[in-house]
């Protein structure tokens, strides 16, 4: 089964093993499978996920959008947070992507469709953990990038 490409689907070598795990960053680095093994769970989790489409439209996708996937016992939920606002109220997320469209928010700014903005991993894991209560908050409101972000991706430097 061919899956939609997704900026939040990432591969990480497993320490001490010659294997690579596939994780969902939007799900707090939730494991979707091991590369080269049975892809059934990966295909189920990613197959009907709305996040790839949410990031595919340059005219609608907001630079500050933080999609979250909550992998629970009874199913997978998709939520949408804002990079600025999750720090004010981490539990107040949107279920409607349209609330992050250009006409819905005066802070809207276009999101690159080929790569994630700097600091996205750090903010996603913070927003995900604060929403679920697995980490303590709040964070300073003025922080845009992740602390000590090592280097901006090449695509971002060209902008
Ligand atoms: S579950 Fe959705 S957001 Fe996560 S890696 Fe798969 S397609 Fe991307």
Pocket of ligand 1 (CB under 6 A): 6, 8-9, 24, 26-27, 45-46, 49, 51-52, 69
Predicted local distance difference test score (pLDDT) of residue 2: 83
Looking at the domain assignment, is residue 124 inside a domain? yes
Arithmetic mean of pLDDT over the chain: 89
Mean pLDDT across the stretch 8-28? Answer: 95
CA-nearest residue, atom 7 of ligand 1: 46
The answer to whether residue 150 sits within a structural domain is: no
Sequence-distant (6+) residues with CB within 8 A of 102 are 59, 60, 62, 108
Residue 53 has pLDDT above 90, yes or no: yes
Contact 64, 110 (CB under 8 A): no
| Domain assignment present for 91 | yes
In a domain, 146, yes or no: no
pLDDT at 158 over 60: no
Domain hosting 71: range is 9-138
Residue 41 has pLDDT above 70, yes or no: yes
Are 66 and 124 in contact by the 8 Å Cβ rule? The answer is yes
Q: How far is the CA of 4 from the centre of ligand 1 (A)?
A: 9
Does residue 101 lie within any of the structural domains? yes
How remote is the C-alpha of 45 from its chain's centroid?
Answer: 14
**Residue 36 located in a structural domain:** yes
Cα–Cα distance between 80 and 53 in angstroms, integer? 13
pTM: 0.86
Q: Indicate the number of domains in the chain.
A: 1
How high is the pLDDT of residue 24?
Answer: 98
Instruction: Give SS3 for 27.
Output: helix
pLDDT digits (tens, 9 = 90+) for 107-157: 999 999 999 999 999 999 999 999 999 988 766 666 666 766 555 555 555
- Across-strand partners of 23? 10, 31
Q: Examine residue 147 and state whether it is found in any structural domain, yes or no.
A: no
Selected residue with higher pLDDT from 67 and 16: 67
User: Is residue 144 a part of any domain in this protein?
Assistant: no
Mean pLDDT of 11-15: 93
What atom of ligand 1 comes closest to residue 10's alpha carbon? 5
Percent of the chain, pLDDT > 90? Answer: 76
Atom of ligand 1 lying closest to residue 3 CA: 7
């Amino acid at each position: 089964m061919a899956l939609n490409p997704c900026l939040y689907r990432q591969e990480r070598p497993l320490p001490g093993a010659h294997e690579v795990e596939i994780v969902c960053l939007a799900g707090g680095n939730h494991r979707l499978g091991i590369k080269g093994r049975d892809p059934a769970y990966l295909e189920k989790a990613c197959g009907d996920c709305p996040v790839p489409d949410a990031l595919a439209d340059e005219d609608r996708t907001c630079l500050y959008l933080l999609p979250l996937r909550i992998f629970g016992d009874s199913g997978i939920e998709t939520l949408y947070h804002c990079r600025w606002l999750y720090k004010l109220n981490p539990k107040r997320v949107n279920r409607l992507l349209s609330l992050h469209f250009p006409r819905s928010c005066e802070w809207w700014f276009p999101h690159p469709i080929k790569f994630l903005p700097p600091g996205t991993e750090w903010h996603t894991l913070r927003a995900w953990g604060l929403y679920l209560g697995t980490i303590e908050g709040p964070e300073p409101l003025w922080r845009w990038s992740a602390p000590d972000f090592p280097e901006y991706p090449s695509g971002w430097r060209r902008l």
